[in-house]
Structure 1
């Protein structure tokens, strides 16, 4: 694992400070989100059809999404910067594997994963620092593996920083994120935009992509 960057340390510290509150809010968050559940189900179906490989959730928080992937039939594990959130995930889901670590430097072999979920975790990466993360996603995914991103969409504008309640965060135009992924040879499979529900501030974006490389030999690291 490479050395941590200051913004990663700050993000981990911020989530550690509110871990219990954040976990309480997140546990049942999918219950009222049928469109989000639908694209997660599509992701899971495609990963299962491609073959029996593990799936990582990057930025798993308290583990509720990793557990949802397991319930969709995937061999899922979670990685998060926050030790406090990982402790909660392990307590809430003792049958699943959770690790403290960065999604910019997974402790897995090249091409090991059949799928990777990044659900509102890339939002905390400063925009100039984000491209190497896509290189790391490509490295760990098997050829033909699937990447699903969830993020706050900037509604046609530029990348925008906003007042996230925990740590600095950014809203992205969906086309810009798709372009970053395309440069690492990801092929877009589907996209979904949904308008904010009651209590939500911003449009939600979702990108489902397939790793288009025939090899997964990239050793780029961000931290």
Structure 2
């Protein structure tokens, strides 16, 4: 496994239970998050399965399921998947990577990528977007959320644990959109909002992209 994938998996395995507890109920106090997720759910509708890719403990997967989507979760961390399965026993969760998803070509109507591209080095991001394009049907949509900036952060503590080793990349919306367009997507929407203290320190971005209706489903 690529070093950054192994590092990310180990870190999230370590913090899985604390992460789930810390973020439990946070959506109730995040109207912007709910608004974007609700818009995504309405845009995708009942057209087919939706992947919550980088689902963590499944909190957003459960939210989308409650809004009628046929949604499942994928996460790099087996520890996170274990927590998700325990907390949402009626939903499907599996271990997987954004760089090599287990889904068939053109099998998803939509994908949620909620703060899950932030640990991938920029040089590898085109591979992520090519994989998203592969698994989506023509016209399928992706909602991405991420922290805005140029900073590269080394995270060594969090969610009740010390001694972590995890890199997180702040990203510019323009860069994310360029990666998406290069993979055959069009940009439908971008919103950047101010951080909400005390948990956020940087602006937060939401970008919706749509796979072209004439795009091939074959692996790029």
Cα distance in 2, alignment partners of residues 85 and 193 from structure 1: 28
SS at match of 1:124: coil
Cα distance in 2, alignment partners of residues 117 and 181 from structure 1: 14
Tell me, yes or no, if the aligned pair for 2:148 and 2:171 is still in contact at 8 Å: yes
Number of aligned residue pairs: 211
Quick check: 1:38 aligned with 2:7? no
- 1:5 match: 2
Deviation per CA, 1:53-106, whole angstroms, max 9, x where unpaired?
100011100000111111111000000011111000000000000001112211
Equivalences for residues 16-31 of structure 1 within 5 A: 16-31=13-28
Cα distance in 2, alignment partners of residues 152 and 112 from structure 1: 29
Equivalences for residues 87-166 of structure 1 within 5 A: 87-154=82-149, 159-164=150-155, 165=158
TM-aligned CA deviation for residue 213 of structure 1? 4.5
Cα distance in 2, alignment partners of residues 208 and 129 from structure 1: 20
Q: Structure 1 segments of 4 or more deviating over 6 A? A: none
TM-aligned CA deviation for residue 26 of structure 1? 1.8
RMSD: 1.3
- 2:207 match: 207
Cα distance in 1, alignment partners of residues 47 and 24 from structure 2: 27
Cα distance in 1, alignment partners of residues 178 and 190 from structure 2: 13
Deviation per CA, 1:11-51, whole angstroms, max 9, x where unpaired?
00001111111110122121111011111111111101xx5
TM-aligned CA deviation for residue 216 of structure 1? 3.2
Gaps of 5+ in 2: 159-163
Residue 84 (structure 1) aligned to one of 64, 70, 79: 79
More strand by share: 2
